[in-house]
Structure 1
Amino acid sequence: MTGRGLAAHAVVAVLLLAGAADASPRGSPDERRYLDVVASAQPSDQRREDRDVVVSEVMVRHAALKADAVATSVTSCSGCRGDSTALQVVYVRGPASARFDNVASAWVQDCWDCTATALAVQLVVIGPGTRARPTNRALAVGNTCATCRTATAAFQVVVQVDAVGRLPAAALAEVTAWVDAQAAALRAAVVAPATPRRAAARAAARSLGDLRRVVVRALEARTRSARVAVTR
């Protein structure tokens, strides 16, 4: 493997091992400190198309919290396709010091006509007593791959409300439909002619605005942070 390939391995490993997996489904609040959601697509010669979709909605109450949402796709076989989508919705009920990391990564290597897409979406609802530290990243790596395409997008929205509660079912359905549309757009991006970087960034910013408005309207919330990162 080349030095660049080793570096790509190292980057992806660091992103995936950023925390310990610990999440709970929609239901009663829990007191856990680490909340990680990982969607991982790994196509192979035996499974030439691999798609992984992971959705998590969790209510937490803890003085110190770290939540990671990661979508990663790695493609290294010719004609193969990997698509990953992660959606994490976190409600922080009690005052806390909280770190929120959202990462989308796609990697192609040593293959022909192969593609990889990754979409990571993290929505966070906090009360007035929570100190939030969000980070949002999108990464794409291509190595020894002349006819490969990658596309990644990471969307992160942090809002504040006076009393933390869950998104209504109708709003959550809107968010889910929005995520499906973004994932479909990424899959289309790797088979269509390349979109200029500025145009892709403008489209992503509009999409981020749409997502933010759904959450703010549903919860009568105030936006603390809204970020998007894309690679093509």
Structure 2
Amino acid sequence: MMSSRFKIAVATIAGLVILSASGAEARGPRPAGPVRVDLSASAHPIGAGNRYADTAHRVNTVRGVTTHAATTATASAICRGCSAEAISVQVLYLDRSPTMRLDNVAIAWTQGCASCNATAVSLQVVVVSRPGSLITANRAAALNAACNACHATSGAFQLVVSGKAQSRFSATTLRSLTSWASTQALLLRTPDLLGLSHLQQRLALKRLAHLVNADLGTRTLGARARVSGQ
């Protein structure tokens, strides 16, 4: 018989998986709104001892239309000794958007395995100019079920800054964003205080915001970090 806590955790994971599936295909903006700009990384190894990693990157520009963007990373391990790592890095430039809905989700789980690991990191960086209404959601979930020596961790990081319409990241900063996300995945895979500390993750995101603002001359509207691990 499953405990109430476990049932709630399973239901939460299932709901977030449904959301992540909606972002499984990256779409370019259409001429008229509203538009969706979605990106997802997904890592699910099959077979004992296998390791699978998926990294997704995308840069999009949308002007003058209502925009819904979903950035997701999902990773699972269900086989003995296997590991999964999913990393999504999405950069959005939104100019004169009347309504913006920004969803960022990282999900990781292990089930029915031994010595298995799953790590998911999703980084969403949004530069807005002359914005309208803004709705944001940033979520992370991790779950271990019926397994031995298993480790599931996830981190969702969302950064929204305001600047000029022509603001664009340098190639160096774009590379730094990818490197930053990879570093967070490495820390999350390390089962110590640094890897799972919410305070450490918030400080890391604050340093990233400083880098972004220094490059673009922008100011931070929102910086959100959520970490989950078992």
TM-score by length of 2: 0.87
Secondary structure of residue in 2 paired with 1:210: helix
Q: CA deviation at 1:169?
A: 1.6
Q: Using the alignment, how far apart are the partners of 2:60 and 2:38 within structure 1?
A: 11
User: Which range moves more in the overlay, 14-23 or 68-77?
Assistant: 14-23
Question: Given the alignment, which residue of 174, 179, 182 partners 1:180?
Answer: 182
Amino acid across the alignment from 1:13:
V
Question: Given the alignment, which residue of 106, 118, 125 partners 1:116?
Answer: 118
Question: Given the alignment, which residue of 196, 200, 205 partners 1:203?
Answer: 200
Question: Given the alignment, which residue of 208, 211, 215 partners 1:214?
Answer: 211
User: Which range moves more in the overlay, 7-16 or 203-212?
Assistant: 7-16
Is contact 2:13-2:141 (8 Å) kept? no
Identity %: 31
Cα deviation code 1:90-144 (max 9, x no counterpart): 0012332010000000011111111100000000000123322111111001111
Q: CA deviation at 1:63?
A: 1.9
Amino acid across the alignment from 2:131:
G
Aligned 1:128-167 pairs, distance under 5 A: 128-167=130-169
Unaligned segments of structure 2, at least 5 residues: none
Q: Using the alignment, how far apart are the partners of 1:73 and 1:147 within structure 2?
A: 17
Aligned 1:21-40 pairs, distance under 5 A: 21-24=25-28, 31=31, 33-40=35-42
Is contact 2:108-2:153 (8 Å) kept? yes
Q: Using the alignment, how far apart are the partners of 1:129 and 1:153 within structure 2?
A: 27
Amino acid across the alignment from 1:218:
D
Amino acid across the alignment from 1:42:
H
Aligned 1:14-93 pairs, distance under 5 A: 14-18=18-22, 21-24=25-28, 31=31, 33-45=35-47, 48-93=50-95
Tell me how many residue pairs correspond in the alignment.
223
Q: CA deviation at 1:146?
A: 3.2
Q: Using the alignment, how far apart are the partners of 2:100 and 2:147 within structure 1?
A: 39
Supply the RMSD in Å over aligned alpha carbons. Answer: 2.5
Pair 1:11–1:175, CA change in 2 (3 A): same
Pair 1:77–1:12, CA change in 2 (3 A): farther
Give 2:100's aligned residue: 98
Determine whether 1:229 maps to 2:219.
no
Q: CA deviation at 1:62?
A: 4.2
Give 1:127's aligned residue: 129
Q: Using the alignment, how far apart are the partners of 1:213 and 1:9 within structure 2?
A: 32
Is contact 1:23-1:56 (8 Å) kept? no
Secondary structure of residue in 1 paired with 2:59: strand
TM-score by length of 1: 0.86
Is contact 1:23-1:58 (8 Å) kept? no
Q: Using the alignment, how far apart are the partners of 2:49 and 2:149 within structure 1?
A: 20
User: Which range moves more in the overlay, 33-42 or 128-137?
Assistant: 128-137
Q: CA deviation at 1:186?
A: 2.3
Q: Using the alignment, how far apart are the partners of 1:44 and 1:35 within structure 2?
A: 30
Is contact 1:8-1:141 (8 Å) kept? no
Amino acid across the alignment from 1:56:
R
Give 1:11's aligned residue: 15
Secondary structure of residue in 2 paired with 1:91: strand
